[in-house]
Amino acid sequence: MGTKAVLLDKPEALDLKEFVSEKYLQNQIIEYLNAATGGMFWQNDSIGIKGRKRQNRYRPNGVADILGVIDGHSIAIEVKAPKGKILQSQITFAEKFRRSGGSYYVVRSFEDISELVKINGWI
């Protein structure tokens, strides 16, 4: 994701959340969760190619960006930019993951993950 050049008459109107890449946010979330929760989280390195299915019997489409475990409970976290859209393959994965007993979340900011950690009592 490239950087955006922005010219504003009122710089205070700039919402920096719109300029944080999903990849940067993923890395920050993983570092935070591993340091703060006592759980184990890692990045899912699946490679998606737009318009082409990459699923095989060993890796389903739509796997969340971050996978982890806390106290024996499986966690999947999909990281989206503020205006990012959830794909059908991600919805399908989320439904199967939840039916299998895991917890699946979509976050759009570091504030979202902070709130999620507090609500779930992970720290």
What is this structure's pTM? 0.78
Q: Give the model confidence (pLDDT) of 95-119 as tens digits.
A: 999 999 999 999 999 999 999 999 9
pLDDT for res 41? 97
- Domain-located, residue 98: yes
CATH of residue 96's domain is 3.40.1350.10
Cβ partners under 8 Å of residue 108, min gap 6: 17, 79, 80, 81, 82, 84
Q: Give the model confidence (pLDDT) of 25-68 as tens digits.
A: 999 999 999 999 999 999 987 665 555 556 667 778 899 999 99
**CA pair distance 34, 119, nearest whole angstrom:** 17
- Domain-located, residue 5: no
Number of domains in the chain: 1
- Domain-located, residue 94: yes
* Parent domain of 36: 17-46+59-120
At residue 38, what is the residue type?
Answer: G
pLDDT for res 4? 43
